[in-house]
Structure 1
Amino acid sequence: MTDVLADFTLAGGRAAVIGRHHLPIDAVLPDNHRAGISVGQHLAELGHRRIGIVAGPIELNTVSDRIAGLREGAGAAGAELTVVSKAFTREGGIAGARELRDRDLTAIVGLNDAMAIGILSELRQHDVRVPEDLSVVGFDDIAVAGDVAPALTTARIPMFEMGQHAVGLILRPASDEPRTITTDHELVVRRSSGRPRE
């Protein structure tokens, strides 16, 4: 990929990426690690100590950064995290919830909102109440996150702003050194997370 980007640049092309990487190119870096910390701390502060994580492919930086943040945020309170890796989709969330449903957990985190919505769907099919029986949390704050039932607690990642920043980097004059812009996150607490059952 480095060679392809070098050839593209020599031909007059400009590019920027979104996400952590090892390429010599401008980048917009989402706040995935600290977003994971916020979610982990939120669940720990509610009293959750047995948390399942439905992750996308582990080799993805987004996934590894969010899991590391969750471990840091919830691990300080002594929480145990159980991770299963599935497709980064609603269907992956369903499959992950199926695998985790019968374990003795009090919360499940989907590493994106599509997965979390799949988790909610699977739990509803088996009469598992959210958040009374299990809390569910996602990442990204996609448009429908507040419209599902119950409304989804999630870490908001500013997707639109990241796209704007990436285009802005491309439109600026070229730089000798790769430039980075780091974005923030916001924990949006809604009805899908609550205190664990006794």
Structure 2
Amino acid sequence: MKRRVYNQYCGLAAALDLLGERWTLLIIRNLLHGPKRFTDLEKGLPGIGGNLLTQRLRHLGSAGLVERVTLAPPAASVVYQLTADGRGLHQPLIELTRWGLGRQPPIDNATTIDATWIMLGLEARFEPEGSADLGGVYELRIDDAAHRLEVRDETLTIRAGHADDPLATVATSASTIAALNEGRDTLHDAVAAQRLVVSGDVERAVRLARAFGL
């Protein structure tokens, strides 16, 4: 099927020509913090279906935003990752996510919550002025997903995977983070009830959580 384009001399229209179809930006979102296998991408996009995901990945590949690569042994997995051009969408998506935070639907039994989406929300909530003296590497484990967080010069960098020798490690669930975001839980209560478990430098971990507005 031929893709529809706006044919307008406008940067926004040109961006929408590439990114405006359903699921496209969400695929980019799920690759922002590191490469993923096809099966993991599909799992992280409930409802997309394998055929449509294949179509969207082919489109993003032809647009030069996503590439298919084979990881070095021992993993040797075939994964999809953002190209340098694709990574240029990181900050615009952070800003768009920040704009959408107050417009998220209330959580109910039909709401899907995923660690990848939670991490993007945390990145959008990050307050640089609250991260002074927090420089270093941390690990955040949400359910079964680990992410490496590095704070340098009041700038946050997130990558999927475990951190080597982190200052602190925080283990929790996506639903707990969502409850903290919405004010249905507090950091004090979550720690006391072990819904959020901190090892390492507890004081720094708590201050980092505050920098995320938790």
The TM-score by the shorter chain falls in which range?
under 0.3
Of structures 1 and 2, the one scoring higher in RCO (CA 8 A, sep 6+) is 1
TM-score with structure 1 setting the length: 0.26
TM-score with structure 2 setting the length: 0.25
Q: Which has the higher helix share?
A: 2
